[in-house]
Amino acid sequence: MLAKLQNKLIAAFLFIGLIPMLLSTVIVVSMNAKRLEKQKESDIRKASEKTMKIVQDYENRAEQIAKFLIDNPGFIASLRSGETPRVIQTGHPLILWVVDGGKKNSYGKDIIQLEKPEALIAGAVTSVSYDGNYLGDLIIGYQLGKSFAQDMSLLTDVEVNVLYRKGESRRTPGTQVELMEEAFRRGEAYYDKNALFQGVKYEAYYQPLRTGEGRIAGMIFFGIPKRYGFSETTTTWYFFPVLLGLCIIMAGGLGYAMAKHISNPIRLFARGVHAVAEGDLDQEMNIRSSEELAELSNAFNHMTGKLRELRQLEEELRRKDRLAALGELSAGVAHEIRNPLGIIKSSAQVLKKNAGGDEKAKELTSFIMEEVDRLDRVVSNFLDFARPRKLNLEEGRIEDIVERSLHLAEPRLSGAHIKIEKDFEAHMPPAKVDSEQLSQAFLNLIINAVESMPDGGKLAVKIGSHRNYVEVSFADTGIGIPGEILGKIFNPFFSTRDEGSGLGLSIVHKIIETHNGIITVKSRINEGSVFTVRLKK
């Protein structure tokens, strides 16, 4: 039954929780995908801005170098000699001396595409003259090639490539040439979310490089591959099946945990109820997983406590009924026995007086009188049990009564090697009790403890005061009482000793009961017993 309930709870949680979980996951994934796309575009545009600032810085630096060289007479003299090579300096920056090809159309900072050496540079073109005669053009700049692109990629964390028409078909396979041509035809910077570069999909930005005349000499490609991107992953065919599987696993796991959290306390309650139904009233729940279950747990414990009280009350009522009937029977039997015993004792006394010098007769008559006295004591015990004396209630100190009982039992205690440990609360208030009868009850409990410790031991006597009652306990280290007979020890004529009458503890119970008190016992085999008396103040 509980397994079915647990499965239903799991199924309900799957049904209720799976759809919201999927929707929320899709919404979160979509929002993150859009956010990451915006972040990618922002990073790519920032990389373009940073790169173009560096290109402009190259042009400014090249212009400054050109002015410095033109103002140097020694450098001009070397140009006039006619022996200056075409490439004056390679590296960073590149310096070219051009004397053929006629006068340039524009001078100053520029993007320059060279054929020999094949290069695209950011720099400056300066016309060189001497005494009004044109000598040639000086070209100074920084190459925008593979090394420049790698440096920019490291600087911006975005893949950077420099593109230009000359030789481009040699660098890119297949349809890449057409895509480059399309970028050049556009003639303006633009962002492409589905760019294809060297066979790989990119989110890319194309930044044109224009000459001073407005012609597009090349382009700089800024891109981030999409193969490992978040949005690329979410658009694959297997994303949603995997997401659905993960959601089912998560929802099932959470549903199982919640179902166990709900069904486990119910299972504990079911076990407890079955145990109570079988008669085990010692069940106790301590569930605090939620306020409702804690309240139910407290109610269950309250119920079992009341059931234990009812069982104890029922046993007390049955004992009282048995004792009442037994008391009436005992009183009648004791009355019928006592008269013949008196006659027997009187007759034995007469025979003893008339025996003269017959010692044997005197010995036998003495035996008869002793046994008559013993039977008379048993009959007196029967009568004490059947018709307990009326209480003579007076204010008395419980500790004084206990001390008197211990004093009366001193010979038995010392002879049995019993050590007494006292724990009496100070300033105990007096209580209205019959000191004589209560002393008899305590004495019987002490003697009972002595008999349970044949090899000696310890008897701890404790007295304490509570709000509504005084508590006296006698804890011995004796052999203990078996659990199967623990509930019978206060029954009259029940005894585990051959020489016992079985009335000692019954009389104790009767005396405590007439004081409106309670006596309880706890015992464990080979560990000892604790008799506790509670008397109302």
Query: Is the four-CA dihedral 507, 512, 513, 519 of positive or negative sign?
Result: negative
Q: How far is CA 456 from the centre of its chain?
A: 51
Q: Taking CA 85 as the corner, what is the angle to CA 79 and CA 88, rounded to the nearest 5 degrees?
A: 85
Place of tokens 């008899």: 440
At 260 the pLDDT is 64
At 233 the pLDDT is 57
At 214 the pLDDT is 79
Q: Round to whole Å and give the CA distance between 354 and 301.
A: 75
Beta-carbon contacts of 510 under 8 Å, excluding residues fewer than 6 positions away, are 323, 385, 388
Listed in order, strand segments (DSSP E) in 178-247 are: 190-197, 200-210, 216-225
Please give the helix or strand (H or E) that residue 343 lies within, else none: helix 291-353
In this structure, the dihedral spanned by the alpha carbons of residues 488, 492, 496 and 497, taken in order and rounded to 10 degrees, is: 160
CB 483 within 8 A of CB 282: no
Widest distance between CA atoms in the chain: 186
The residue type of 252 is G
Nearest by Cα to 188 from 170, 210, 171, 169: 210
Q: What is the DSSP string of 170-187?
A: HHS-TTHHHHHHHHHHH-
Please give the helix or strand (H or E) that residue 229 lies within, else none: none
* Strands 159-163 and 431-433, sheet pairing: unpaired
Nearest by Cα to 494 from 506, 483, 484, 482: 506
Q: Taking CA 434 as the corner, what is the angle to CA 432 and CA 437, rounded to the nearest 5 degrees?
A: 150
Domain 391-536 falls under CATH 2.60.40.790: no
CB 398 within 8 A of CB 433: yes
Q: Round to whole Å and give the CA distance between 378 and 372.
A: 10
Q: Round to whole Å and give the CA distance between 214 and 211.
A: 5
At 168 the pLDDT is 42
Per domain, the residue ranges of the chain are 53-233, 391-536
Q: Taking CA 319 as the corner, what is the angle to CA 318 and CA 321, rounded to the nearest 5 degrees?
A: 65
pTM of the model: 0.44
At 47 the pLDDT is 93
In this structure, the dihedral spanned by the alpha carbons of residues 296, 299, 300 and 305, taken in order and rounded to 10 degrees, is: 160
At 289 the pLDDT is 64
Q: Round to whole Å and give the CA distance between 293 and 273.
A: 15
At 385 the pLDDT is 62
Q: Round to whole Å and give the CA distance between 309 and 520.
A: 13
Q: What's the average pLDDT block by block, 10 residues per block, for the chain (537 residues)? A: 55 62 68 80 92 92 88 82 72 72 65 78 86 83 88 91 62 50 75 82 88 83 76 56 66 63 68 74 70 73 78 71 64 69 76 73 78 75 64 86 90 86 87 88 90 90 88 92 81 64 77 88 90 88
Tokens describing residue 28 = 């979160």
